[in-house]
Amino acid sequence: MTDRADRDIELVTQYLRGDLAAFNELMSAHEDRVFAVCLRMLHDREAALDATQDTFLTVFRKADKYKARAAFSTWLYRVAVNTCYDHLRRAKRRRTNELSEAHDPADPQAADAFDAIDVRPDIEAALSLLSPEFRSAVILVDLDGMSLEQASDTLEIPTGTIKSRLFRARRQLARSLGNLNTPSEHPNEDCGES
């Protein structure tokens, strides 16, 4: 395990023994990433803030459910994704405001910052058209950089299901964005093995 993972386990143990400062440290270490996942899932800053808060309230109440078989962050991001699913179900496809450009960093792959700003609203709109299951796979693997195995652990689904969801989501994104080079019809070529 990494130093962060070891420290997280230590903090959870301390928190379960009554040390509230340990929980605060856990929250501080992970709140930005949890918020980023929630923002990408919900496409609304206020809803993402609520989901982030709900995620940490759940962790506060149910930290004893974490069994240290995987990294704490894997369990935490699963709680965050489930919280977002709950928010989406409650919203029942209520129309949301588009993300402000100020809340998302520029695409480092773009030739310049102006190209990145021009493309971002199209990508956000295309992501919002995906089902929550496809969106969560794309967010965790393509945007947050998790491996297929990490995403599989986080979402508690087989790696093959992650590959399938990524393939189908990427194909839908390519169609929505009007890309001429749509992904191959063969999932193994598109998703690769990790």
At residue 91, the pLDDT reads: 76
At residue 72, the pLDDT reads: 94
Domain coordinates in residue numbering, the chain = 1-97, 129-194
**What one-character-per-residue DSSP string does 69-120 give?**
SS-HHHHHHHHHHHHHHHHHHHHTT---PPPPGGGSPPPTTSSSHHHHHHHH
* Domain boundaries 1-97, CATH class: mainly alpha
At residue 59, the pLDDT reads: 95
Q: Based on C-alpha coordinates, what's the Rg of the chain?
A: 18
Sign of the C-alpha dihedral computed for residues 165, 166, 171 and 173 taken in this order: positive
**56-89 tens-digit pLDDT:** 999 999 999 998 888 999 999 999 999 999 998 8
Q: What percent of the chain has pLDDT over 90?
A: 44
At residue 69, the pLDDT reads: 85
CATH 1.10.10.10 at 129-194, yes or no? yes
- Residues of the chain falling short of pLDDT 50: 96, 100-117, 180, 182-183, 185-194
